[in-house]
Structure 1
């Protein structure tokens, strides 16, 4: 990140990207704090928790994998869960491609690490035409992800180091659920995403009795199937293409 941000931070779009993310940093920070605490409470060492936070940088898959790690689930279940939780980034990348394809591959790979759900939403709201404009779009991207990365990592690292001092009766787990719900709500921009979310919720509850938290995989599979069917037979006509993912 340090190689690219100095070249763009003076651009007005960098500041615009940062401003667009500032309004939602409270939810991101709360979620990061909860994840940091949860990693240590689940049995990870401080070093491994720091490594996971900095390298994985994917809160939903981190939280999904922690109960599996704590319960000693097979590695294939851990990998399958993380893979399914992060499948949404495959959809996101098909949209990013319209904007970032002209950039060098190395730069795109570097940007992929920092790309996140809400950066995706803000970016597509800012540039809905899906046409490459690197002079404006790249500074905007870095402005948004700079805020998002620090808003996540600083509280997460604080949670890792303070985990043993934070009483469990503070209800941080519930706070994390609320933060996650808030972030998820921001991605529900049209009928199809709402239907997919409802199907996922029903499937997760119906399959709750499955071992190894496999109800998560069932919910993801059901949501993806519902989303694909809705896009095929009842496509959105409201022009919110970016929000549909």
Structure 2
């Protein structure tokens, strides 16, 4: 039994030596011995299982990269890690710059030089746009002190529609009463109105903005179009006829 054990031990040692020699030879020749090679079907890239394993490996690698780049909720929207800059509070706008002011092209004194009307029937306070013989934009500041409010109406003061039409006609007179147009305030008459519509009531505190535009002038009769606004709301519109004579 002792001799058999020694013989088997020597055989084991010899096989180890042969294995070491064969491994060194395979390294120098680049050929792996068949006894040390892995089964070919395990690492064969062309096999379907090999392709699937490679795809899974690439997908897992890509997922790890994307996980490192962005971390967010399950819906896929990434969450920014940097805090957004906090906007500073805007500076308070001075009261004189907070609301737009109407320009003054013709003040009340210039209007009195053109129109023959006087208190309490001068209904244009200022002209803010003016193109003689073509168009003009005038304003009427409607206040509770206007003399028509006590009777129209005591419980609900509303500017009478006929006075809105009169105010618009006076703006039309400012357009036409010019020397180059041929008008004269001694011979200027309101000849007629047509297609007048009142869209909304005008009350105390409103600023009535009226635009009058010349449409046609023939044989001393001027046809004009007029529109009146309060803010962005159209409150009155119509067509006007003015009679001019020198």
The TM-score, its normalising length taken from structure 2, stands at 0.20
Query: Which protein has the larger Cα radius of gyration, Structure 1 or Structure 2?
Result: 2
Greater strand proportion = 2
Greater helix proportion = 1
